[in-house]
């Protein structure tokens, strides 16, 4: 297999659990990663600095409870995230809640992006049950998906003669 092929880092959930469960230094995060952009790449690089390896769960196109259908197919999103040097493994999950996977992986650190109050999340209580940590990494700049969509919408509107 080509050692530079990102597909080598995309695994079935059961394979990732067998390989990484309860290993010291395991960092875990999850998300849709619909339009991979600088903010997400920076977030994943910062998350990786918190441990020895980073497992990323990408939500499937048909994830239960998802607010909207992603623009990019799950296989493409997983491939792009796996191509990042900071990411060790990618799994595609079919649920928007990472609780079941966190319980199986038992990472040392669970990371989310944003300004949310981590103390209010069920993930935090679960992480604390085995001595793990849950951390929110704040948005660093205006390079998020919403900001990108606004810029695209503005450019599209201007091109179409809209205000």
- Give me the pLDDT at residue 66, please: 60
- 62 bridge partner residues: none
Distance CA 31, CA 74 (A): 11
> Quick one: which of 64, 84, 80 has its CA closest to 72?
80
In-domain check, residue 25: yes
pTM of the predicted model as reported, rounded to 2 decimal places: 0.86
pLDDT tens per residue across all 163 residues of the chain: 688 899 999 999 999 999 999 999 999 999 999 889 999 999 999 999 999 999 999 999 987 666 677 889 999 999 999 999 999 999 999 988 899 999 999 999 999 988 788 999 999 999 999 999 999 998 765 555 556 566 667 665 544 443 3
In-domain check, residue 87: yes
- Give me the pLDDT at residue 158, please: 44
- Give me the pLDDT at residue 161, please: 41
Distance CA 77, CA 117 (A): 27
In-domain check, residue 136: yes
In-domain check, residue 1: no
Distance CA 20, CA 66 (A): 27
Helix (H, G, I), strand (E, B) or coil at 14: helix
90 close to 56: Cβ distance less than 8 angstroms: yes
- In which domain, by residue range, is 19 found? 6-159
Looking at the structure of the chain, the number of domains it has is: 1
In-domain check, residue 108: yes
What's the CATH number where 88 sits?
Answer: 3.40.50.620
- Give me the pLDDT at residue 148, please: 59
């Amino acid at each position: 297999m080509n050692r530079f092929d990102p597909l080598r880092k995309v695994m079935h959930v059961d394979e990732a659990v067998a390989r990484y469960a309860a290993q010291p230094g395991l960092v875990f995060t999850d998300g849709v990663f619909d339009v991979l952009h600088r903010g997400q790449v920076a977030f994943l690089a910062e998350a990786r600095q918190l441990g020895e390896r980073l497992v990323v769960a990408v939500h499937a196109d048909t994830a239960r409870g998802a607010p909207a259908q992603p623009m990019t197919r799950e296989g493409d999103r997983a491939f792009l995230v796996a191509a990042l040097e900071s990411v060790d493994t990618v799994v595609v999950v079919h649920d928007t809640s990472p609780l079941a996977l966190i319980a199986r992986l038992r990472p040392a650190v669970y990371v989310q992006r944003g300004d949310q109050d981590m103390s209010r999340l069920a993930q935090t209580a679960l992480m604390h049950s085995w001595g793990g940590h849950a951390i929110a990494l704040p948005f660093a700049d205006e390079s998020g998906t919403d900001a990108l969509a606004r810029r695209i919408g503005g450019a599209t509107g201007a091109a179409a003669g809209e205000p």
